[in-house]
């Protein structure tokens, strides 16, 4: 009987160790993918670089038409997860044009959390647009957005949602900013919407 247990105990121990090792490995892989997802490898190509150039050109064209000081285009993307597993919604500026006395916003608005400016993006989703006609006189609930505009010397801003024309889902936005109050002529909205599908196509090429 003693000889029997002499062989059984090591065998059982080996099985238990194997089970624990397997469970630990599986748990490790799950936690890694949950909280530290593998990033897709970026593949820079002439298609993408051409896309970025075209977005800059569109910004320049619109800026000339609506006489803005800054025009930029951004696209929405995922940004990992919070510790509780909730997905982060972010945006990044991928096209812009601005006056010689202004600074680029591409560096500033990179991987920015959407909840930094909640009222701005709520308005975009509900009304397809968000107007700040005057940071000086307009009552603004979105104080952080007002502070950002004022910090950069902008007194009015007009933002328009860009949707995928096929799936009808938000994929980005275009923003026009002015160093004066009431800078945008609302009748010029037609120039923005005219470019929407072209912008959407270029943003989709960025994936």
pLDDT at 183 over 80: yes
Q: What is the pLDDT of residue 67?
A: 97
Of the listed ranges 58-62, 82-86, 123-127, 140-144, the least confidently predicted one is 82-86
pLDDT at 25 over 70: no
202 pLDDT band (50/70/90 cuts)? Answer: very high
Among residues 159, 160, 155, the alpha carbon closest in space to that of 178 is found at 155
* 147-171 pLDDT, tens digit each: 999 999 999 999 999 999 999 999 9
What average pLDDT does range 6-12 have in this prediction? Answer: 53
Q: What is the pLDDT of residue 46?
A: 82
Q: What is the pLDDT of residue 201?
A: 93
When the pLDDT of each residue in the chain is averaged and rounded to a whole number, the result is 83
pLDDT at 26 over 60: no
7 pLDDT band (50/70/90 cuts)? Answer: low
Of the listed ranges 25-29, 45-49, 154-158, 168-172, the least confidently predicted one is 25-29
pLDDT at 83 over 70: no
Residues 80 and 104: beta-carbon distance below 8 Å: no
Measure the CA–CA gap between 68 and 65, rounded to whole angstroms: 8
* 129-138 pLDDT, tens digit each: 999 999 988 8
* 64-75 pLDDT, tens digit each: 999 999 999 999
Three-state secondary structure string covering the chain? CHHHHHHHHHHHHHHHHHHHHHHHHHHHHHHHHHHCCCCCCCCCCHHHHHHHHHHHHHHHHHHHHHCCCEEEEEEEEEEEECCCCCEEEEEEEEEEEECCCCCCCCCCCCCEEHHHCHHHHHHHHHHCEEEECCCCCCCCCCHHHHHHHHHCCCCEEEEEEEECCCCCCEEEEEEEEECCCCCCCHHHHHHHHHCHHHHHHHHHCCC
Q: What is the pLDDT of residue 10?
A: 55
Residues 162 and 124: beta-carbon distance below 8 Å: no
């Amino acid at each position: 009987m003693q000889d029997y247990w002499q062989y059984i105990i090591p065998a059982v121990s080996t099985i238990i160790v194997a089970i624990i090792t397997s469970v630990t490995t599986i748990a490790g892989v799950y936690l890694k993918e949950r909280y530290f997802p593998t990033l897709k490898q970026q593949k820079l190509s002439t298609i993408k670089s051409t896309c970025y150039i075209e977005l800059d050109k569109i910004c320049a064209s619109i800026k000339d038409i609506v006489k803005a000081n800054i025009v930029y285009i951004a696209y929405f993307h995922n940004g990992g997860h919070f510790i509780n597993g909730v997905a982060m919604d972010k945006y990044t500026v991928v096209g812009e044009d601005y006056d010689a006395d202004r600074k680029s916003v591409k560096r500033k608005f990179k991987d920015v959390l959407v909840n930094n400016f909640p009222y701005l993006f709520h308005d975009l989703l509900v009304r397809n647009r968000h107007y700040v006609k005057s940071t000086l006189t307009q009552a603004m609930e979105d104080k952080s957005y007002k502070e950002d505009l004022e910090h950069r010397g902008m007194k009015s801003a007009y933002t328009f949602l860009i949707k995928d024309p096929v799936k009808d889902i938000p994929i980005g936005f275009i923003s026009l900013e002015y160093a004066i109050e009431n800078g945008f002529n609302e009748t010029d909205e037609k120039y923005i919407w005219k470019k929407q599908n072209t912008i959407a196509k270029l943003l989709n090429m960025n994936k």
